[in-house]
Each structure stands twice: as C-alpha cells, then as structure tokens.
C-alpha cells in the first residue's frame, strides 16, 4: 500500500522525463525482441507528435515483418501489396498535397519486388518520405536471401552463403536512387546505439520537414539487425551488423538539399 | 438536353470522368485504349476541375495508385486493355478485399497473350468470375454504344461507392475506337474535403482526435476474422444480385428465338434481327448490361417463352455458361463466336441461328 502510493506520487507530470508517445498504440509489438523495427516505429511517431501532424499524416505499410505497422502506429494508414507502397503514396500525396505522406518498407519489399515503384516514385520527385529498413534478409517469411544480402552471407535460400556468381550481387538501392534528380534528401542511419537513435530521429524529422517545401523524395535508410533471421542473439547481431553490414552499407548522408555529398558512404568502394 | 458531341468511345470515357467529378486518373498506354489518357492530358482536367492525371510506370503501378487514392476516399479510375488488365489483377483483388471503390475500364483486345490489338470479348471470364485471387466479384458493366461509355462512367462510380467495391466497364476495341453521337451529362463538382469525409468515414484521410485511426487493408491473419470478411463480401454481393441487375430486350415480345449478347455483339445482333425477320424468322435480343450481377432470373423467365437461344460473343463461348446455368436444359442453347479480333457480320449470325438453332 505504501509502496503503491509512493509510485503514484512519483508519476507526477513534473517528474516525467520520458514516456511512450500517444501516437504508438498501447499494445505489444509483433517484432522479435532485439529487432530495430520497434525503435524506428517509436521515433517516427515521436517525430509526428513533435510536429503536431497526427491529423495530417497518412502512412503506407508494406508486406514483410512490418506488415502490421498500422496496428502500432496510431495514425491513418493503408496496407500496400508487396512492393507497391510508393505507388499508393504517389496517388495519396498527389490528391492530398497538404497531407504528410510516408512509406515504411523493408528491403525485400522496396529493393526487390518493388524496385520499379521505388525508382519511378523517386525519379518523378514525389513529395513524400520513404523509410527503408534494411536488414539484409526476408525476416517475416523465415530468413530467405534478399536483394541486400551480403556476399557469402547465409540465409535459408543461400544456406552455403550468397554466391554472387549464381545469385547476383547485393543491391545498394539508396546509392542508386540518390543519383535520380527527383530525390532531395537521402541518408543511411542505424538504431543500434542511443547515438544512432538520436541521429536517425533527426534524419526522419528532416525528411518530414522537407514535405512542407515540396522538395521531392526524402529517403531514410535504416540498416537494422535481424537477430532471428541471422540466428544470433540481439547483442551478437548488432556487433555482426557493425562489422559486416556497415562496411558495405556505410552510414551517413548521401544527398542533402538535392546535392550529392562526398562522405564515406559515397566514397566507399565495397 | 445535355451537350451533344461526336466522340470516340475512349474519348467519351475520359470526358465523362471529368464531368463525373473524378479526383484522379492513373494509367499506362496500351492499344486500343490510349486515347483515354491522351484526351485527359489534352483537356487539362487539373485546370478544369482539379482532377489529377498521371501516367504511371506500369499497369501494376496504376492499379496500386488507385488503391492508394481509393483508400483515402478519392474517386479514382484507370483504363487499360486486356494484357494490362491481367497485370492489374493482384491489385484489383486487394481492392475488393479492402472494400475500396474505384472505376476500371477494359477496352478488350484479342488474346491470349499479346494477342492482337483488334476488338474481342474474350475477357468475360476474367471480369465476372474473379480474375485475381480469392472469393470476390466486381460490378461489371457492358456498354454497347459510345453513349453508354459516357453514361456508365457515372453509373460505375455511383455503384462502386454505394457498395464500396471496384466497378469495371467491360468494353472492346471497336466501341473504344468508333465515333458516335453522345449526349454528355452536366458536370458534377468534385467533392469537397468535408463531403468526402462525410461520404467515406472509413477512409484514411488523417486521424483527428475524435475518432480511432482508420486502417485500409485486406489482411486478417486470424482465420475466423478473415471468414467474417468473406461473409461480409458475400452478403454485399447478394444485395447487388437482388438490386442492381440491368438488361435490355429488343423485339423480344413476339420472338420465337432469341439472341443473347452483350456489348458490340448485341449491336451486331440488332442488324441480324432485321435480316432474320425479313426472312420471316421471329427473333429478338436479350442484352445483359450488368454482366455481374448477371440477369439470372430474367433469362430464366424469357427462356420459357422461346424455342431456342443463340448466344453470340466475340470469344470461344464464355457467357454461354452463365446463360445455360440460368435457362436450364429445356430448350436448345448454342454459341456462335468469332475470336482473335474478328468481328462477326450480321449475315453469319443469322446463318448460325438457322443452322444451330432452327435447323439443328
């Protein structure tokens, strides 16, 4: 009794330094413990709350691990067919130009089956935000090889490692779309450390702010772990990501204010 | 009387879309329907009414743009021809599952495969039996004139919003390309944001504080939930079958024999009736206008008054299956068709009636 009273006493507005945003629905996430999706969901929703645009935002969720994103994000959303989120967002933004529109897609969705929709939405310079979660694997279907799977990386459909001779090379979609005149802000981030979370959130804020000026596509890639698909513990998977994913997918801004920037991301050759 | 114009069927579709208050057209060029988007781009509807017109990168993109637009309550449409409509089937299934209103136009050409660019009615099965995956139906309207190409745009939008399901205008390359007199309906203003939200409270338009968030999806991972979705769809289709059947009869009152045909074939049959009656053969026409919902009861009733029925289609025999199901086995029902882009002439239809029904 005394203890409960003490807790309630502490939970006063002036004592609260951090809480779940109301823009996240209060229900358990469907993601594996350790996965980056939940963190990215949270910082997108915090961004919308800070910008006070919940009532002006329409989101598009993909097919993949985040197929149920609309159950967790407390905003109006549409669930797209596999790969087609940029087509939906194109029409939504064209017909609701005052709304903030974003897509949320994984690497299989955005960089394999949806390649055409991704490239053409970027090339037309649609004025919406694209969030791209890249974990180098098809998570939901059980860890198959993705377009972004690294050379020699094992997956359930490349059980002996990705042989680039027969299975092709990993696709750097973010560098590719940065070349298109319709993209305005292109960046690659990660949420495996508190500093990374802060940087990613800043990037997402910028990507949404850009919609106010109708600048073209703002594209935020988040390199993420998939501890279940990679068959590792969360800690191991984040270490593996740093050692293997980041050299191939270097973090940093690739295009800012419509201009390609010379960073380790663009300078890196493999 | 509305404004009269001499127009191609494809142009009539486009003009009617602007006048119906359509919010967005998304398409991809394909013969023989490219005039729809060409007319829209030339007309600048974004200046006339604020309507968006966008050339997509593929039919796959167009149909998913429709899904996006329809999910926000907007009045959206696309047009294509057979191979392009085949590409759209996944998206159409999603829209039926998510209960989204939209207007689709198929200016059919001969198939299968790349086929030909000449007119055909070989997409009947695809249109009325599903086409994409899952248990769903489309409202299917079959115009037989350029006038109906215009009128059915408005009707198609009305029905698709009434039942929250995609509607399809199933036409063909001849009606799309031919020119006829059209009486255009008076322009209807596009809905304001307030009107749209009032009409479509389910749409994802941006969540205000006073309602729960709206989700547009065709996914329900719980089998019991997905069965409920299916039962809801089937109940809706049942209402459509009871209330929305449209058909037309021509010279059927005293007929001993009957043509049953839709779209262009029905136009050809009208001439065949004249030729046959000049020979003393009392033949009439029954024309289904809604191919789904199909006029089952009406065909069952009229079949009891005639000695035989010739189903005339520009395909190898598709609608005849539904005619036989409706009419039963009491009288002779045969099919006459040309395919691959060949349009039958009225004489050969009369000959087929004489050989397959009267003499057969």
Closest chain B residue to the Cα of A88, Cα to Cα: B68
Domain boundaries B248-358, CATH class: alpha beta
The domain spans of chain A are: 34-265
The answer to whether the Cβ–Cβ distance between A58 and B56 falls below 8 Å is no
Model pLDDT for residues B288-326, shown as the tens digit of each residue:
999 999 999 999 999 999 999 999 999 999 999 999 999
B347 upstream amide cis, omega within 30 of 0: no
Q: What is residue A242's three-state secondary structure?
A: helix
Give ipTM to 2 decimals: 0.96
Q: Taking the CB of residue A38, how many other CB atoms lie within 10 A of it?
A: 18
The answer to whether the Cβ–Cβ distance between A71 and B215 falls below 8 Å is yes
The answer to whether the Cβ–Cβ distance between A84 and B209 falls below 8 Å is no
Q: Rounded CA gap, B129 and B13, in Å? A: 24
Closest chain B residue to the Cα of A74, Cα to Cα: B213
Cβ pair A112, A157 in contact under 8 A: no
Q: Give me the CATH topology for the region A34-265.
A: Rossmann fold (3.40.50)
The domain spans of chain B are: 3-194, 248-358
Q: Rounded CA gap, B178 and B353, in Å? A: 27
Model pLDDT for residues B195-223, shown as the tens digit of each residue:
999 999 999 999 999 999 999 999 999 99
Compute CA B122 distance to the chain's CA centroid, rounded to the nearest angstrom: 13
Q: Rounded CA gap, A78 and A103, in Å? A: 10
Cβ pair A43, A23 in contact under 8 A: no
Q: Please identify among residues 46-75 of chain A the ones whose CB lies closer than 8 Å to any CB of chain B.
A: 54-58, 60, 67-68, 70-71, 73-75
Q: Rounded CA gap, A95 and A8, in Å? A: 47
Provide the token pair at B263: 């779209």
CATH of B3-194, one of 3.40.630.30, 3.20.20.140, 3.40.50.970, 2.120.10.80: 3.40.50.970
Q: Do domains B3-194 and B248-358 have the same CATH topology?
A: yes
Element containing residue B205 per DSSP (H, E): none
Model pLDDT for residues A8-51, shown as the tens digit of each residue:
677 788 888 888 999 999 999 999 999 999 999 999 999 999 99
What are A218's strand-pairing partners? A129, A185
Answer yes or no: is pLDDT of A126 > 60: yes
Going by DSSP bridges, is the β-strand pair A183-190/B3-8 parallel, antiparallel, or unpaired? unpaired
The answer to whether the Cβ–Cβ distance between B72 and A96 falls below 8 Å is yes
**With contacts defined as CB-CB under 8 Å, which chain A residues touch B58?**
116
Model pLDDT for residues B85-124, shown as the tens digit of each residue:
999 999 999 999 999 999 999 999 999 999 999 999 999 9
Residue spans of alpha helices (H) in chain A? 2-10, 37-50, 69-72, 85-95, 107-108, 115-124, 164-167, 173-178, 194-209, 234-240, 246-248, 264-267
Closest CA of chain A from B168, distance in Å: 20
Closest CA of chain B from A112, distance in Å: 15
Provide the token pair at A191: 């949420």
Model pLDDT for residues A215-246, shown as the tens digit of each residue:
999 999 999 999 999 999 999 999 999 999 99
In the numeric block, the tokens 């009305």 are attached to: B158
What residues contact residue A182 under an 8 Å CB cut-off, 6+ apart? Answer: A121, A122, A123, A124, A125, A126, A216, A217
The answer to whether the Cβ–Cβ distance between A78 and B216 falls below 8 Å is yes
The answer to whether the Cβ–Cβ distance between B54 and A71 falls below 8 Å is no
What are A100's strand-pairing partners? A57
In the numeric block, the tokens 């191939």 are attached to: A248
**With contacts defined as CB-CB under 8 Å, which chain A residues touch B61?**
84, 87, 90, 116-117, 120
């Amino acid at each position: 009794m005394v203890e409960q009273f003490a807790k309630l006493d502490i939970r006063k507005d002036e004592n609260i330094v951090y809480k779940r945003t109301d823009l996240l629905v209060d229900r358990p996430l469907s993601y594996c413990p350790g996965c980056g999706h939940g963190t990215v969901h949270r910082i997108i929703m915090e961004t919308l709350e800070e910008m006070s645009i919940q009532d002006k935002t329409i989101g598009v969720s993909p097919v993949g691990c985040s197929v149920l994103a609309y159950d967790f994000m407390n905003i109006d959303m549409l669930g797209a067919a596999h790969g087609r989120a940029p087509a939906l967002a194109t029409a939504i933004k064209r017909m609701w130009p005052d709304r903030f529109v974003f897509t949320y897609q994984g690497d299989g969705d955005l960089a394999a089956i949806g390649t055409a929709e991704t490239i053409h939405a970027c090339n037309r310079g649609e004025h919406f935000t694209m969030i791209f979660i890249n974990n180098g694997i098809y998570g939901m279907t059980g860890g198959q090889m993705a377009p972004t799977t690294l050379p020699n990386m094992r997956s359930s459909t490349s059980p002996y490692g990705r042989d680039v001779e027969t299975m092709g090379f990993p696709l750097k979609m973010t560098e590719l779309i940065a070349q298109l005149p319709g993209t305005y802000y292109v960046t690659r981030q990660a949420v495996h450390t508190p500093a990374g979370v802060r940087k990613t959130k800043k990037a997402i804020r910028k990507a949404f702010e850009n919609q106010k000026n109708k600048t073209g596509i703002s594209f935020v890639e988040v390199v993420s772990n998939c501890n279940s698909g990679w068959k590792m513990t969360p800690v191991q998977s984040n270490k593996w990501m740093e050692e293997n994913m980041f050299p191939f997918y270097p973090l940093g801004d690739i295009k800012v204010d419509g201009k390609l920037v010379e960073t380790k991301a663009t300078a890196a050759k493999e | 009387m509305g404004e009269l114009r001499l127009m191609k069927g494809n142009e009539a579709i486009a003009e009617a879309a602007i006048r119906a208050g359509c919010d967005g057209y998304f398409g991809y060029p394909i013969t023989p329907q490219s005039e729809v988007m060409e007319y829209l781009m030339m007309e600048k509807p974004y200046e006339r009414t604020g309507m968006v017109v966008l050339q997509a990168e593929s039919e796959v993109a167009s149909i998913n743009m429709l899904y996006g637009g329809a999910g926000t309550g907007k009045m959206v449409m696309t047009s294509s021809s057979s191979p392009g409509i085949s590409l759209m089937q996944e998206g159409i299934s999603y829209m039926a599952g998510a209960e989204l209103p939209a207007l689709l136009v198929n200016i059919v050409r001969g198939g299968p495969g790349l086929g030909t660019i000449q007119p055909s009615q070989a997409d009947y099965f695809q249109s009325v039996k599903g086409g994409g995956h899952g248990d769903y139906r489309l409202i299917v309207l079959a115009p037989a004139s350029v006038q109906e190409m215009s009128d059915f745009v408005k009707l198609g939008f009305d029905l698709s919003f009434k039942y929250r399901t995609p509607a399809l205008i199933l036409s063909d390359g001849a009606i799309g390309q031919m020119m006829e007199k059209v009486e255009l309906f008076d322009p209807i203003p596009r809905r304001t944001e307030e009107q749209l939200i009032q009409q479509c409270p389910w749409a994802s338009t941006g969540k205000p504080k006073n309602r729960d968030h709206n989700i547009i999806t065709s996914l329900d991972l719980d089998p019991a939930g997905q069965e409920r979705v299916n039962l809801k769809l089937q109940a809706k289709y049942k209402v459509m079958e009871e209330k929305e059947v449209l058909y037309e009869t021509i010279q059927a009152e005293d007929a001993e024999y009957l043509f049953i045909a839709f779209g262009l074939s029905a136009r050809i049959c009208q001439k065949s009736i004249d030729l046959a009656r000049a020979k003393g053969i009392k033949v009439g026409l029954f024309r289904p206008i809604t191919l789904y919902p199909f006029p089952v009861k009406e065909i069952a009733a009229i079949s009891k008054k005639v000695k035989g029925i010739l189903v005339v289609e520009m395909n190898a025999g598709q609608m005849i299956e539904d005619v036989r199901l409706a009419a039963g086995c009491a009288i002779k029902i045969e099919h006459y068709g040309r395919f691959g882009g060949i349009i039958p002439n009225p004489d050969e239809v009369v000959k087929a009636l004489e050989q397959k029904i009267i003499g057969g």
